[in-house]
Amino acid sequence: MNYLESYLVISAILFTFGIFAVITRKNAVAILMGIELILNSANVNFIAFNRFGNFNVLDGHIFSIFVVVLAAAEAAIALAIIINLFKNIGTVNVDEAKELQG
Amino acid sequence: MIPDLGQILFYSILFLIVLSSYWVVMSPNLLHSAVSLLFTLFGVAALYVYLYADFIAASQVIIYVGGILVLIIFGVMLTNNIDDPKLSNQSQNQLIAGVFCFILLVFQFQIIFNTNWNVGSLVSRDSTVNDIGNMLLNKYLLPFEVVSVLLLAALIGAAMLSRKKTD
């Protein structure tokens, strides 16, 4: 717990799982969960580099606050779009959404 | 010799994060994925506590677990046919994506372990909330305001997208 590498390794694993979810999932909500994993891995990196670099200045913490705010905004908009998609075409499978005017 | 309890807790938290994030991406049931994401987010909050980031850990629990995860479960409940949970969360191209992601992971490990990180002295400090508040209202005032305007725009946009069409 006192090594930078352990945090970077867990962040790399989270990032890879997130990419895997974005590539393989068909359901739009599951893809959104993958994006949340990616954002969390970026946050772990920010906080870890702040802790092991210069801990007297908290720039990394500020950046991770901004990332959390953007994640909240993105989740709200994405779920509104997904619910509209379900109303229009009756499914949330992203392969089925292929018409501009449904 | 008594093993260090903090060390044991740290490695069990890492194990919890890896296991639950694996189940987020592999579970055949979408609701199980969402509940598994809860454990991943709690594990990441615990990592923040180990990194002396008390404010970020608290806001992770409040915003992610209390807000975003509830929103995601809301979306799952509203958009899926719950009577057929086996088909709610299909995957495709798992073999190709697995190979690609494994190569990606190997590259990242290569970079992590072959870089000579410039690690400073490990100082310990008490609460970070005071400094974060000062920085948000001095050095980072403009990004703070821009982000608040963006949050307002997202709020209005989400309300506009999900209202009933009356025309």
Rounded to the nearest integer, the mean pLDDT of chain B is 88
Residues A57-80 as b or e (16 or more Cβ within 10 Å = b):
ebebbbbbbbebbebbbbbbbbbb
State the pLDDT at residue B117: 87
Question: Nearest CA of chain B to the CA of A47: how many Å?
Answer: 7
For residue B15, how many C-alpha atoms fall within 13 Å in the half-sphere facing its CB?
6
Q: Packing angle between helix B69-79 and helix B30-50, nearest 10 degrees?
A: 180
Residues 65-84 of A with CB under 8 A from B: 65-66, 68-77, 79-84
Spatial distance between the Cα atoms of A24 and B105, rounded to a whole number of angstroms: 17
Cross-chain Cβ contact B158/A79 below 8 Å: yes
Domains of chain A are 4-89 (1.10.287.3510)
Spatial distance between the Cα atoms of A1 and B11, rounded to a whole number of angstroms: 8
| Amino acid in the structure at residue A56 | N
State the pLDDT at residue B81: 66
- Residues B69-101: pLDDT tens digits? 999 998 888 887 665 666 666 778 889 999 999
Question: Nearest CA of chain A to the CA of B167: how many Å?
Answer: 17
Cross-chain Cβ contact B118/A80 below 8 Å: no
3-state DSSP percent of chain B in helix, strand and coil, to 5: 75, 0, 25
| Interface check B24 vs A, CB under 8 A | yes
State the pLDDT at residue B27: 87
pLDDT above 70: percentage of residues in chain B: 92
State the pLDDT at residue A95: 84
Tell me the chain B residues in contact with residue A39 when contact means C-beta distances shorter than 8 Å: none
- Residues B108-151: pLDDT tens digits? 999 999 988 888 777 777 888 999 999 999 999 999 999 999 99
**pLDDT greater than 90 at residue B4:** no
- Residues A10-50: pLDDT tens digits? 999 999 999 999 999 888 899 999 999 999 999 999 999 99
Chain A interface, best mutation among B56, B62, B123, B145, by max A CB count within 10 A = B56
State the pLDDT at residue A74: 92
Tokens of A50: 């702040």
Spatial distance between the Cα atoms of B25 and A18, rounded to a whole number of angstroms: 8
CB of A41 within 8 A of CB of A64? no
Question: Nearest CA of chain B to the CA of A98: how many Å?
Answer: 18
| Amino acid in the structure at residue A47 | I
Give residue B166's pLDDT band: very low, low, confident or very high (50, 70, 90).
low
Spatial distance between the Cα atoms of B114 and B116, rounded to a whole number of angstroms: 7
State the pLDDT at residue A91: 81
Cross-chain Cβ contact B40/A71 below 8 Å: no
User: Max alpha carbon distance in chain B (Å)?
Assistant: 75
What value of ipTM does the predicted structure carry?
A: 0.90
SS3 sequence of chain A: CCCHHHHHHHHHHHHHHHHHHHHHECEHHHHHHHHHHHHHHHHHHHHHHHHHCCCCCCHHHHHHHHHHHHHHHHHHHHHHHHHHHHHHHCCCECCCCCCCCC
Q: B27: which DSSP letter?
A: -
| Interface check B3 vs A, CB under 8 A | no
Please indicate whether residue B1 or residue A17 has the higher confidence score (pLDDT).
A17
Tell me the chain B residues in contact with residue A10 when contact means C-beta distances shorter than 8 Å: 14, 17-18, 47
Tell me the chain B residues in contact with residue A69 when contact means C-beta distances shorter than 8 Å: 147, 150-151
| Amino acid in the structure at residue B52 | Y
Cross-chain Cβ contact A23/B100 below 8 Å: yes
**pLDDT greater than 90 at residue B102:** yes
